[in-house]
Structure 1
Amino acid sequence: MPDLLIELFSEEIPARMQGRAREDLKKLVTDGLVEAGLTYASAGAFSTPRRLCLTLEGLSAESAMVREERKGPKTDAPQPAIDGFLRSTGLTLEQLEVRDDKKGQVYFAVISKPGRKAAEIIAEVLEATIRNFPWPKSMRWGSGSLRWVRPLHSILCILSDEAGAEVVPLDVDGITSGNTTEGHRFMAPGRFVVSSFDDYRAKLKRAHVILDSAEREAVIWHDAQNMAFARGLELVEDKGLLTEIAGLVEWPVVLMGDIAEAFLGLPPEVLQTSMKEHQKFFSVRNPKTGRIEGFVTVANRETADQGATVLKGNLKVLSARLSDAKFFWENDLRRVKSEGMEGMAAGLANVTFHNKLGSQLARIERIEALAREIAPKVGAAPDLAAEAARVAKADLQSAMVGEFPELQGLMGSYYARAAGLPEAVAEACKGHYSPLGPSDAVPSEPVSVAVALADKIDTLTGFWAIDEKPTGSKDPFALRRAALGVIRLVLANALTLPLSAVFAAAQPGCDTADLLAFFHDRLKVFLKEQGIRHDVIDACLAMPGNDDLTLLVKRAEALAAFLKTDDGVNLIQGFKRANNILSQAEAKDGVEYSFGADLKFAEVDAERDLFAALDAAEAAISPAIAAEDFAAAMAAMAALRAPIDGFFTEVQVNAENGVVRRNRLNLLSRIRQICLSVADLTRVEG
């Protein structure tokens, strides 16, 4: 079986597009080949800034013959029907088979399609892939109609086996396939012939091209770490930047430089962000001081002066960038010290948050009032929470955040400290946006928690009040993320926070019931990822107090653990049996059996044992639920398993004696009431 090698060689592909492009090339080609009847053993996709590559091992040499049978009209059908069937099959009447059918004799067409050579199929599939490649952005060049992310220069497409390699003939807008490629643009110009993937990969490396992006990443990280370590420093990890840089170079050459003394006083995050965003530099930190003192840049070639000229040019540009950052920093500090944080925030009165929800300053006033309301519930001082809310977004008016929006909140914490505000206020400036995503840390300092909750709840209630809710996959205001942030803040800090009252306080015009239902949907997703079944969550959502997320989750976790035990599984069956019998009897009799079970009417020991067990369970469950000790409530409920099993084994509920029957149905009602006091077990599956 031959191996296939494809390379699409072009001008530089943007680094951010390379990973997706590798997967698209692999999927489009392999899906097309398989659909056409070819098979393969394995596939691998690679990319460099100037090429996409796909290799397939063990490709079948040709597609299998296809035999298709198609049922046609009856033999005595009108002639136009028979003629239409012949046209659709491409056969003559003599080539059709006559077979017996339930309704008489019918024509059958047996169509055999011979297999096709792999090269013919590959050419068709690759041309379609190139012409329809799903680049996020593409361009035309010259006079051709072909679109590619950057001008496409050549197509390498060969099939190779023990006998050698053959080019798969292909022509796309005048670009004909061949068996040659190019190495590094500067260090190894010129084309060379390749005969297989192993030959291709080895020759590329000799021509100063590392084909595998993962290998380029490993080279960059290894060399950069060693350089930093040799000087007693440490490299600041940034996996996203590493992947991006590996997509910018074919032959990574790691260089390290020092940051000028004049810039070392800038906050480390400012240095990191400026170097990353503007120049794709890694930051190098002094572990003793926490300061960013150096940088690592990655060149795309070796030079005779070991990168000295490259470093000199980079340092010149870096100094200009950091001079801007230093100016922003010093200007912001002067402003904070003269106007204060609230003075800096005053300009937000002229910044619109939403045309139906007012300015950013109006929003801050709402957040301040809500933070003051929430503060006692999270253990924060109301005045301190209100102060933090007033200044938390002041840095949106700073020059630094204007240049680097991703530093909002963080810069606020620096400016708050410079203004002499309490540390809790500074921390709230930084933490009130959190958590932003599922991996983001959750604030735990009470003032930060109060302001973070107020910020997110104001957003949610505001957009609910103006009926701007998420629909389908559309969520332009990130309201799902805000709700998940509230959920994580409440649960991580074990807060008792009835949301309905908080929603009403935040926005009187908000549909609190609908917003709470939205929170419950988000909570279901969150808990499902924690391994709690949807029916367990539904059973707990049906209970009172379901706007207290901490209480709700404690109940759900206890029920989930209970249902993993044999007692839990069997008790659910006993409960459902009792509920079904009781419901049927109530429907039949037109009455509700909800009270009046009396021990004196018990006739057998199993019946008396159940009375005693229910008394004991009720006595234990009620105080346990009041104390929110749901594990203890479940344990007390588990003790009912054996008495309920014994009752149904020994007792006929629908006894002939009417008094006994009513008593036993009222006894089943006690089972139902006690079990439903813990969770709505009717919603539990199984």
Structure 2
Amino acid sequence: MPDLLVELFSEEIPARMQRRAAEDLKKLVTDGLVEAGLTYESAGAFSTPRRLVLTVEGVLGASPTLREDRRGPRADAPEKALEGFLRSVGLTRDQLEIRDEKKGRFYFAEMVKEGRPAAEIIAGLLPDVIRNFPWPKSMRWGAGSLRWVRPLHRILCVLSAEDGHEVVPFALDGIVAGAETEGHRFMAPGAFSVVSFADYEAKLKAAKVMLSAEDRAAHIWEDASNIAFAAGLELVEDKGLLAEVAGLVEWPVVLMGQIGPAFLDLPAEVLQSSMREHQKFFSVRNPKTGRIERFVTVANRETADHGATILAGNEKVLAARLSDAKFFWENDLRVARDGMAPWLDQLGNVTFHARLGTQAERIARIAALTREIAPLVGADADQAAQAAEIAKADLSSEMVYEFADLQGVMGRYYAKATGYSDEIAVVAEEHYAPLGPSDDVPVAPLSVAVALADKIDTLTGFWAIDEKPTGSKDPFALRRAALGVIRIVLNNRLRLDLRDLSKAAFRHHGIGSAEATGSEDDNTLSYVADLEAFFHDRLKVHLRDEGIRHDVIDAALAMPGSDDLTLLVARARALSDFLKTEDGGNLLQGYRRAANILAQAEAADGVEYRYGADVKYAETGEERALFAALGEAEAAIRPALEAEDFATAMTRMAQLRGPIDAFFEAVKVNADSQLVRRNRLNLLHQIVETCTQTADLARVEG
């Protein structure tokens, strides 16, 4: 079976589009092959700045011939019906066959779809794939109608097998598919022919093109780390930049340059941000001082002077960039040393959201809510409110205006320059956390208080104006804010009433009040309940990553105290772990046996059996033993629940399985005596009530 090689060679493809484009090419072509009847063994996609490449191994040499019997009208049907059938199948009457069926005699047409060679199928498929390729942005050039991300120069399309190779013949806007490609733009210009993927990959490497983006990234990281280590320094890890730079070069050449001494005292974060955003440079740190002292750049060619000219140019451009950063830094420090009041005043003119006021108004709400949260997380209320008031002051600074990703980081520097303590200054940086699922969460009480207030204010604000996430759309990152609250609460094991905090935050948005009654209070509760449900949905997503099933979470959610996330998650984790054990199965079986019979009796009788059973009406030893076991279990379960030791409580509940089974084997619940029957049904209720003190087991599936 032949192998297919496709290369689409163009001008430089933006790095951010390359990986997705390679995967799109792979999917579109392989899906098209399978749809046309060509199976294959494996496929791989690659990208460089100038090419998208697809290799498909073990392609079927031709699509199979397909035969289908299509039934037509009855043999005695009107002539027009037969003529219509003949037109639909493209046959004549003498090519039809009459067959006997259960419902009569019918015309049948044997439809034959002849197989086609792979080259013919591919020649018809690829032009359509290329013309309709899903680039985020594309362009036209010259007089043709073809759109591509950048001008397309060559199409390589070869089918290769052990007995030779062939070019798949097709043309697109004057570009004729062939077996030729080109190497590196500067170091190996000119075309060369290939006969297979192995030949292609080897010749590309000889022509100074490293095909795999992963190989280029690994090469860059290894070389850069070694160069830094040789100088007694260390490379600052930046996976995003590494992936981007790997998409900018076909033959990576790693060079390390100097940062001018005038800029070495700039904050490390300023140097990193400036070099990463503007120059795509990696930062190189002195491990002894933590200062950024050098940079690594990745060139796309080898030079006779070993990169000296390239480095000189880069150092000159970097000096100009860092001169701007130094100017911003020094200007901002002058403001900060005189106090942050000018910046805070400016935030009164900056709109946070048209319906939620200015940044200054938002800061006032956050500070007020922080004051209420602080005592609950072990923070001083006055200090927490003070930290909240200055946490976003750096949004008015020149540095953050130029480098938005430094918000919070610069706030910490400026707060310290103003004279605030380290504990208050660090809040400016930490209150934004966590921004992503892998980010650390704040643990310092002041940072925790402000971070919670910031996120809860955001959530309640957008809930108040009915700007909630819908489907995949979440323009204000409210899912991230809710997950941030959840992670902060759980990681710090905080015991907070989310409903109370939400009510307080809604009050700061003008919804409800501490003395609200009647319809006003009902309105507030509606907002609070809706937001609480949103938190619970986010919690399910968070716990699903831990392997906790949604039904287990629902079972914990149904219990009192579901607004206390730490308590709720402790229940869910304990139940999840317990259900994986033999005792977990015993608990479920014992509960279900009692619950099912009780539910059936209540449905049939139209009453609820919710009264205490009395042992004096017990008639058998097994019945009296169950009464005793329930009493002993309750005595052990109560202190375990008070200590929130759910595992111990459930273990004790599971031990009821034996007495419950013995009861059902020896006792007829629906006794002839109505008094005894009611007592036994009330006893079943006692079993159900005992077994559901940690979670609502009725919600557990399976």
TM range (shorter): over 0.9
SS in 2 for 1:40: coil
Residue 519 of structure 1 corresponds to which residue in structure 2? 535
Residue 588 of structure 2 corresponds to which residue in structure 1? 572
Q: CA deviation at 1:566?
A: 1.9
Moved more, 85-94 or 493-502: 85-94
Residue 599 of structure 1 corresponds to which residue in structure 2? 615
CA distance in 2: counterparts of 1:266 and 1:80, whole angstroms = 89
Q: Which amino acid aligns with 2:57?
A: E
* Residues 15, 245 of structure 2: 8 Å contact kept: yes
Q: Which amino acid aligns with 1:143?
A: A
CA distance in 1: counterparts of 2:694 and 2:223, whole angstroms = 60
CA distance in 2: counterparts of 1:594 and 1:202, whole angstroms = 80
* Residue in structure 2 matching 1:531, options 547, 550, 564: 547
Alignment of 1:448-597 (within 5 A): 448-508=447-507, 509=511, 510=524, 511-597=527-613
* Residues 349, 359 of structure 1: 8 Å contact kept: yes
Q: CA deviation at 1:342?
A: 4.0
CA distance in 2: counterparts of 1:46 and 1:469, whole angstroms = 40
Residue 16 of structure 1 corresponds to which residue in structure 2? 16
Q: Which amino acid aligns with 1:20?
A: R
Residue 680 (str. 1) matches residue 696 (str. 2): yes
Alignment of 1:156-235 (within 5 A): 156-235=156-235
CA distance in 2: counterparts of 1:139 and 1:220, whole angstroms = 31
Q: CA deviation at 1:549?
A: 0.5
Alignment of 1:389-400 (within 5 A): 389-400=388-399
Q: CA deviation at 1:22?
A: 0.7
SS in 1 for 2:256: strand
Q: CA deviation at 1:621?
A: 2.0
Residue 318 of structure 1 corresponds to which residue in structure 2? 318
Moved more, 187-196 or 609-618: 187-196
Q: Which amino acid aligns with 2:642?
A: A
CA-based RMSD = 1.3
Residue 643 of structure 1 corresponds to which residue in structure 2? 659
Q: CA deviation at 1:677?
A: 2.5
Normalising to structure 1: TM-score of the pair? 0.98
Residue 375 of structure 1 corresponds to which residue in structure 2? 374
Residue 72 of structure 2 corresponds to which residue in structure 1? 72
CA distance in 1: counterparts of 2:612 and 2:642, whole angstroms = 25
* Residues 567, 641 of structure 1: 8 Å contact kept: no
* Residues 165, 196 of structure 1: 8 Å contact kept: yes
CA distance in 1: counterparts of 2:140 and 2:392, whole angstroms = 45
CA distance in 2: counterparts of 1:669 and 1:58, whole angstroms = 65
* Residues 533, 560 of structure 1: 8 Å contact kept: yes
* Residues 413, 425 of structure 2: 8 Å contact kept: yes
Deviations 1:509-566 (A, max 9, x none): 2510111011111111111211111111111111111111011111111222222222
SS in 2 for 1:505: helix
* Residues 503, 528 of structure 2: 8 Å contact kept: yes
184 and 106 in structure 1: CA distance in 2 versus 1, 3 angstrom threshold:
same
SS in 2 for 1:428: helix
CA distance in 2: counterparts of 1:26 and 1:590, whole angstroms = 63
Q: Which amino acid aligns with 2:547?
A: G
* Residues 571, 638 of structure 1: 8 Å contact kept: yes
Q: Which amino acid aligns with 2:661?
A: D
Alignment of 1:47-196 (within 5 A): 47-196=47-196
Q: How many residues in Structure 1 have an aligned counterpart in Structure 2?
A: 685
Deviations 1:196-224 (A, max 9, x none): 22222222222211122222112211211
CA distance in 2: counterparts of 1:159 and 1:559, whole angstroms = 58
Q: CA deviation at 1:401?
A: 0.6
Q: CA deviation at 1:341?
A: 2.8
CA distance in 2: counterparts of 1:2 and 1:559, whole angstroms = 55
Q: CA deviation at 1:589?
A: 2.9
Moved more, 623-632 or 126-135: 623-632
Q: CA deviation at 1:645?
A: 1.3
Q: CA deviation at 1:101?
A: 1.8
Residue 436 of structure 1 corresponds to which residue in structure 2? 435
CA distance in 1: counterparts of 2:108 and 2:6, whole angstroms = 43
58 and 585 in structure 1: CA distance in 2 versus 1, 3 angstrom threshold:
closer
Q: Which amino acid aligns with 1:463?
A: F
CA distance in 2: counterparts of 1:264 and 1:596, whole angstroms = 78
Residue 609 (str. 1) matches residue 617 (str. 2): no
Deviations 1:603-645 (A, max 9, x none): 1111111101111122222232233222222122122121111
Deviations 1:421-460 (A, max 9, x none): 1111112111111111111111111110000000000001
CA distance in 1: counterparts of 2:640 and 2:342, whole angstroms = 52
Runs (4 or more) in structure 1 with deviation over 4 Å come to none
Q: Which amino acid aligns with 2:694?
A: V
Residue 290 of structure 2 corresponds to which residue in structure 1? 290
SS in 2 for 1:178: coil
* Residues 498, 547 of structure 1: 8 Å contact kept: yes
CA distance in 1: counterparts of 2:59 and 2:502, whole angstroms = 62
Q: CA deviation at 1:356?
A: 1.1
Q: CA deviation at 1:462?
A: 0.8
Deviations 1:660-683 (A, max 9, x none): 212111111211222232221111
Q: Which amino acid aligns with 1:438?
A: P
Q: Which amino acid aligns with 1:386?
A: A
Question: Structure 2, unaligned stretches of length 5 or more?
Answer: 512-523
Deviations 1:325-379 (A, max 9, x none): 11111111111001x1344222111011111111011000000011110011111
| Aligned residues with identical type, % of pairs | 70
CA distance in 1: counterparts of 2:255 and 2:583, whole angstroms = 65
228 and 86 in structure 1: CA distance in 2 versus 1, 3 angstrom threshold:
same
Moved more, 580-589 or 212-221: 580-589
Residue 647 of structure 2 corresponds to which residue in structure 1? 631
Moved more, 526-535 or 359-368: 526-535
* Residues 342, 391 of structure 1: 8 Å contact kept: no
SS in 1 for 2:475: coil
CA distance in 2: counterparts of 1:357 and 1:11, whole angstroms = 47
Residue 618 of structure 1 corresponds to which residue in structure 2? 634
CA distance in 1: counterparts of 2:89 and 2:375, whole angstroms = 80
Q: Which amino acid aligns with 2:251?
A: W
CA distance in 2: counterparts of 1:126 and 1:571, whole angstroms = 60
Q: Which amino acid aligns with 1:332?
A: D
Residue 415 of structure 1 corresponds to which residue in structure 2? 414
Deviations 1:92-118 (A, max 9, x none): 122122222221111222111111111
CA distance in 1: counterparts of 2:351 and 2:484, whole angstroms = 24
Normalising to structure 2: TM-score of the pair? 0.96
CA distance in 1: counterparts of 2:612 and 2:215, whole angstroms = 77
CA distance in 1: counterparts of 2:612 and 2:297, whole angstroms = 83
CA distance in 2: counterparts of 1:274 and 1:506, whole angstroms = 37
Residue 365 of structure 2 corresponds to which residue in structure 1? 366
Moved more, 585-594 or 376-385: 585-594
CA distance in 2: counterparts of 1:561 and 1:198, whole angstroms = 51
SS in 1 for 2:340: helix
CA distance in 2: counterparts of 1:306 and 1:98, whole angstroms = 83
Moved more, 401-410 or 526-535: 526-535
CA distance in 1: counterparts of 2:189 and 2:404, whole angstroms = 42
Deviations 1:52-81 (A, max 9, x none): 111122222211111122222211122222
